Amino acid sequence: MNTTRPKPAVAAAGLRKTCGTRTVLDGVDLLVPQGGVFCLLGEAGAGKTTVVRLLSALTAPDGGELRVAGHDVVRAPASVRAAVGLCGLTAVDGSLTVEENLLRTADLHRLGQDDGRSRAADLIERFDLVDVAGAPAARCRRGERRRLELAMAVVGLPPVLLLDEPTAGLDPGDRRAVRRIVRQLADAGVTVFLATRSRAEAAALADRVAVLHGGRLVAGGMPDVEADPCRGETGAMPVRDFFAGNEAARCAVSRS
């Protein structure tokens, strides 16, 4: 019998980050298992983007431990960067077509010409970009551009995908399309770590939720979505019993 437990996608212990004299993250512990969608929920300024930047090894912690896909962000930042996809990290070049942007990203991941082409074609199909594949990215609508950014983030087949407010600024139809893609990626085995201010977003997508408030985690667990027939269909539903009995968490998200 194989008793080896799969490594968590993210393991943080006592994570601290300061900016000047300001403590932005104050001892954050996180354990994100492989697979599924993990939502980090919190109001503006809670520290979500800082967590995402630490997870992608774009910045280093000032204290605590952080491993992503089994790699230590301080000792092995290059391995962490290779293991994560970060939406928006590779900038879309508006003068290139949608397809060319994907091929360029595939090239950055050293996929090789044939693999790059088939990966780009697959993503264009699956992310509903067929109609704009040959158009300059600058002409894409906002929702198409967001789907392109998502596709570019997963060209290299990262085991962990980091998303910071992936549906912000999108209209409801485009929001649903992005959520559908996020769900498909998670169902295909990608661990999605999604930072959001929106309880509706967390309720629509999350398998697990942690609530960040003032740089500290104040709640975590599984949303009560099974009882909610609207899951994934609407951005406006109340999140019933989402943080039952946890007043701190309710306060933390009351303005989101």
List interacting residues with ligand ATP (CB under 6 A): 19-20, 22, 24, 42, 44-50, 197
Nearer to ligand ATP, 129 or 195 (CB): 195
Least CB distance to ligand ATP at residue 22 (A): 6
Least CB distance to ligand ATP at residue 47 (A): 4
Nearer to ligand ATP, 20 or 229 (CB): 20
Least CB distance to ligand ATP at residue 67 (A): 20
Nearer to ligand ATP, 104 or 250 (CB): 250
Q: Which helix (H) or strand (E) holds 252?
A: helix 247-253
Least CB distance to ligand ATP at residue 192 (A): 17
Nearer to ligand ATP, 47 or 156 (CB): 47
